[in-house]
Amino acid sequence: MPFENIKDIYKRMAHAAMRSGREPQDVKLIAVTKEVGSELIHQAVHIGLREFGESRIQAAREKIPEVRSLDPRARIVWHLIGHLQTNKAKAAVKLFDIIHSVDSLELARSLNRHAGEVGKRQRILLQVKLSDEESKYGILKNKIRSVLAEVFGMQNLRVEGLMTIPPFFEDPEKARPYFRELREVRDEAVSAGHDMKELSMGMSNDFTVAIEEGATMVRIGTAIFGERRK
Ligand SMILES: *Cc1c(COP(=O)(O)O)cnc(C)c1O
Q: Which of 12, 164, 182, 203 to mutate to test the pocket of ligand 1 (most atoms within 8 A of CB)?
A: 203
Contact 33, 225 (CB under 8 A): yes
Atom in ligand 1 nearest the alpha carbon of residue 163: 13
Q: What is the pLDDT of residue 85?
A: 98
What average pLDDT score do residues 50-79 get? Answer: 97
- CA 69 – CA 95 distance, rounded (Å): 14
pLDDT number for residue 134: 62
Pocket test for ligand 1, best of 36, 81, 83 (most atoms within 8 A of CB): 81
**Quick one: what percent of the chain has pLDDT higher than 90?**
93
Q: What is the pLDDT of residues 192-202, one digit of tens each?
A: 999 999 999 99
Q: CA 124 to CA 108: how far, in whole Å?
A: 9
Q: Quick one: pLDDT at residue 136?
A: 79
The dihedrals phi and psi of 47, each to the nearest 5 degrees, come to -90, 5
Are the CB atoms for 228 and 221 separated by under 8 Å? yes
What's the confidence (pLDDT) of residue 132? 74
How many C-alpha atoms does 174 have within 13 Å on its Cβ side? 9
* 221 CA → ligand 1 middle, Å: 6
Is 89:114 a contact under the CB 8 Å cutoff? yes
What single DSSP character describes residue 168?
P
CA of 20 to the centre of ligand 1 (A): 23
> How many whole angstroms from 203 Cα to the centroid of ligand 1?
6
Q: Is the pLDDT of residue 230 over 60?
A: no
Check whether 12 has a pLDDT greater than 70: yes
* pLDDT number for residue 229: 58
Q: Burial letters for 154-185: b for 16+ Cβ neighbours within 10 Å, e otherwise?
A: bebbbbbbbbbbbeeeeebeebbebbebbbeb
Amino acid 74: pLDDT: 96
Which CATH number is 6-225 given? 3.20.20.10
- Tell me which amino acid residue 63 is: K
Residue 38 parent element (H or E): helix 38-46
Looking at every residue in the chain, the average pLDDT score rounds to 96
| pLDDT of residue 188 exceeding 70 | yes
For 167-178, write each residue's pLDDT tens digit. 999 999 999 999
pLDDT in tens, 108-161: 999 999 999 999 999 999 999 997 776 679 999 999 999 999 999 999 999 999
pLDDT of residue 222: 96
What are the domain boundaries of the chain?
Answer: 6-225
**Global pTM?**
0.97
Q: Which residues line ligand 1 (CB under 6 A)?
A: 32, 34, 55, 81-82, 165, 203-205, 219-223
CA of 220 to the centre of ligand 1 (A): 6
Are 179 and 163 in contact by the 8 Å Cβ rule? The answer is no
Mean of pLDDT values over 185-213: 98
* Shortest-distance atom of ligand 1 to CA 165: 13
Which protein residue has the closest C-alpha to ligand 1 atom 13? Answer: 81
